[in-house]
Amino acid sequence: MDNHSIKVNYCSTGKVKPKSDELEFGRIFTDHMFIMDYSDSLGWHDARIIPYQPLLIDPSAMVFHYGQSVFEGLKAYHTPEGDAQLFRPKKNLERINRSNDRLCIPELDEEFALHAIKQLVGIDKDWIPKADGTSLYIRPFIISTEAYLGVAPSRHYQFIVILSPVGAYYKEGINPVKIAVENKYVRTVAGGTGEAKTGGNYAASLKAQELVANSGYAQVLWLDGVEREYIEEVGSMNVFFKINGEIVTPALNGSILKGVTRDSVIELLKHWDIPVVERKISMQELYDAHENGSLEEAFGAGTAAVISPIGQLTWNGDHIIINNAETGSVSKKLYDTLTGIQYGKQEDPFGWIEKVKAVSKVK
Ligand SMILES: *Cc1c(COP(=O)(O)O)cnc(C)c1O
Ligand 1 centroid–CA 279 distance in Å is: 18
What three-state secondary structure class fits 253?
coil
309, 318 Cβ separation under 8 angstroms: no
Classify residue 85 by its DSSP letter: E
- Closest by Cα among 300, 204, 298, 213 to 255: 204
Spatial separation of the C-alpha atoms in residues 121 and 110, rounded to whole Å: 16
The 3-state secondary structure of 313-335, one letter per residue:
EEECCEEEECHHHCCCHHHHHHH
Answer yes or no: is the C-beta of 259 below 6 A from any ligand 1 atom: yes
Q: Look at ligand 1, atom 14, and give the residue with the nearest C-alpha.
A: 236
How far apart, in whole angstroms, are the C-alpha atoms of residue 21 and residue 133?
Answer: 10
pLDDT > 90: what percent of the chain? 94
Backbone angles phi, psi at 95, to 5 degrees: -70, -40
Q: Are 4 and 112 in contact, with CB atoms under 8 Å apart?
A: yes
Find the mean pLDDT for residues 46-61: 98
Pairing of strands 306-315, 177-181: parallel
Q: Give the rounded distance of the alpha carbon of 62 from its chain centre.
A: 24
Give the predicted TM-score (pTM) of the model: 0.97
Would the pLDDT of 361 be above 80? no
311 SS3 class: strand
Question: What is d(CA 266, CA 263) in angstroms, rounded to the nearest whole number?
Answer: 5
In this predicted structure, what is the pLDDT of residue 171? 84
- For ligand 1, mutation pick of 70, 102, 237 (most atoms within 8 Å of CB): 237
Q: Is the beta carbon of 237 within 6 A of some atom in ligand 1?
A: yes
Report residue 50's pLDDT band, with 50, 70 and 90 as the boundaries.
very high
Substitution candidate for ligand 1 out of 257, 266, 308 with most atoms within 8 A of CB: 257
pLDDT tens-digit profile of 198-237?
999 999 999 999 999 999 999 999 999 999 999 999 999 9
Would the CB of 260 count as within 6 Å of ligand 1? yes
Instruction: Name the architecture of domain 177-342.
Output: Alpha-Beta Barrel (3.20)
Average pLDDT over residues 170-175: 85
61-118 pLDDT, tens digit each = 999 999 999 999 999 999 999 999 999 999 999 999 999 999 999 999 999 999 999 9
Let me know if the fold of 7-168 is the same as that of 177-342.
Answer: no
CATH for the 7-168 domain, from 1.10.3720.10, 3.30.470.10, 3.40.50.720, 3.60.20.10: 3.30.470.10
pLDDT, averaged across the chain: 96
Q: What are the angstrom distances between the C-alpha of 227 and each of 181, 231, 314?
A: 14, 10, 19
> Would you give the DSSP letter of residue 268?
H
Indicate which atom in ligand 1 lies nearest the CA of residue 237. 10
Q: Is beta strand 353-356 parallel, antiparallel or unpaired with respect to 295-302?
A: unpaired
Contact (CB, 8 A) for 87 and 74: yes
Burial, 339: exposed, middle or buried (Cβ in 10 Å; 0-12, 13-18, 19+)?
A: buried
Between vectors from CA 277 to CA 271 and to CA 278, what angle results, nearest 5°?
120
CA distance 225 to 184: 9
pLDDT for the residue numbered 1: 46
Note the pLDDT of residue 362: 62
Contact at 8 Å (CB) between 310 and 323? no
Query: For residue 30, which of 122, 165, 141 has the smallest C-alpha distance?
Result: 165
Domain boundaries, given as residue ranges, for the chain: 7-168, 177-342
Instruction: Give pLDDT, residue 170.
Output: 87
pLDDT tens-digit readout, 231-284: 999 999 999 999 999 999 999 999 999 999 999 999 999 999 999 999 999 999
CB 166, CB 25: distance < 8 Å: yes
d(CA 14, CA 16): 7
CB count in 10 Å sphere of residue 28: 16
The three-class DSSP label of residue 172 is coil
Please check the confidence at residue 363 and state whether its pLDDT lies above 60.
no
Contacts of residue 92, Cβ cutoff 8 Å, sequence gap at least 6: 72, 73, 74, 140, 260
Pairing of strands 135-144, 84-87: unpaired
Q: Give 305's DSSP letter.
A: T
Distances (CA, A) of 41 to 35, 45, 141: 18, 10, 21
Atom of ligand 1 nearest to the CA of 74: 9
**Residue 14 clears pLDDT 70, i.e. is over it:** yes
Residue nearest to atom 10 of ligand 1 (CA): 237
The answer to whether the CB of 114 falls within 8 A of the CB of 79 is no
